[in-house]
Amino acid sequence: MLIHARNVLSPAELQRIRALLDAADWADGRITAGTQSAQVKRNQQLPETAAQIGEARAIVRAALARNAQFFSAALPREIYPPLFNRYEGGQHFGNHVDNAVRLLPDGSRHLRTDVSATLFLTEPGSYDGGELVIDDTYGEQRVKFAAGDMVVYPSTSLHRVEPVTRGARVSCFMWIQSMVREDAKRALLHEMDLAIATLRAEHGDTEAVISLTGNYHNLLRMWAEL
Ligand code: NI
């Protein structure tokens, strides 16, 4: 399941993050890559030591916390502290699958990556290339969204970022450990949640809507790992 979440950041938040990132010193993107992905990763990343990373992360975390579409699709249990990257001058990231388990930046414990997300921070017209290409169940998806929009997809997917041949592509990316590990179960719950919301809007809280809402919660109760 691939989700397009629109306007995740407000224009003011987007502007603030861009100002923070424009002032930052970037590092080689291979600092967080695994052995296979380090071979194919050519980009820049904001290091943990960057003065701007705390505020930029807080803006993204607050935006995710208020986003009902993201919650319904990802059912987040824990979000890896958001990371920021930049591609320019032909930089790209070849085909890879994200590491299944990641150590948190503070080294305290591990997080399983069930869901991946990229939040776009530069307008698509300001750079050429840089599409995020994701192998989905239904074929290859080429993603290049408006600044402030986000793509959410299963971490099990093979994906790449095409070379950026003009301008710079700046984005935020993150991994989520979900309460529901399997993509098929998350997709079913998300579709059910959307259908219930539509029914409720059209007919109000009828007996059937209340019953289906109960079914949703009982399925989530059956599948959630906390
Ligand atoms: Ni990746």
pLDDT, tens only, 93-106: 999 999 999 999 99
* pLDDT value at residue 127: 98
Structure tokens at 35: 């052995």
pLDDT above 90 for 18: yes
Strand partners, 199: none
Helix (H, G, I), strand (E, B) or coil at 93: strand
209/153 same-domain check: no
DSSP 144: -
Report the separation in Å between the CA atom of 95 and the middle of ligand 1, taken as the mean of its atom positions.
Answer: 8
135/58 same-domain check: yes
pLDDT tens-digit readout, 66-79: 999 999 999 999 99
Report the separation in Å between the CA atom of 207 and the middle of ligand 1, taken as the mean of its atom positions.
Answer: 44
* CATH code of the domain in which 45 resides: 2.60.120.620
> How many structural domains compose the chain?
2
* pLDDT value at residue 202: 97
Residue 217 neighbours by CB under 8 Å, 6+ apart: none
33/101 same-domain check: yes
Q: What's the whole-model pTM score?
A: 0.95
Q: Which of 117, 71, 72, 82 is nearest to 98 (CA)?
A: 117
Q: Give the HSE-up count for residue 115: Cα atoms under 13 Å, Cβ half-sphere.
A: 31
**Of 161, 178, 195, which marks where a domain is finished?**
178
Dihedral (CA of 101, 108, 25, 149) sign: positive
190/174 same-domain check: no
Report the separation in Å between the CA atom of 159 and the middle of ligand 1, taken as the mean of its atom positions.
Answer: 6
Report the separation in Å between the CA atom of 203 and the middle of ligand 1, taken as the mean of its atom positions.
Answer: 42
**Between residues 214 and 39, which one has the greater pLDDT?**
214
* CA gap 101, 99 in Å, rounded: 6
**Of 178, 200, 215, which marks where a domain is finished?**
178
Residue 65 burial by Cβ neighbours in a 10 Å radius (0-12, 13-18, 19+):
exposed
Q: Give the chain's mean pLDDT.
A: 96
Report the separation in Å between the CA atom of 96 and the middle of ligand 1, taken as the mean of its atom positions.
Answer: 6
Q: Which amino acid appears at position 100 of this protein?
A: A
pLDDT tens-digit readout, 135-155: 988 899 999 999 999 999 999
* pLDDT value at residue 35: 82
pLDDT above 90 for 33: no
Instruction: Check: CB of residue 65 under 8 Å from CB of residue 51.
Output: no
Report the separation in Å between the CA atom of 193 and the middle of ligand 1, taken as the mean of its atom positions.
Answer: 28
12/73 same-domain check: yes
Give the range of the structural domain holding residue 104, as residue numbers without chain letter.
3-178
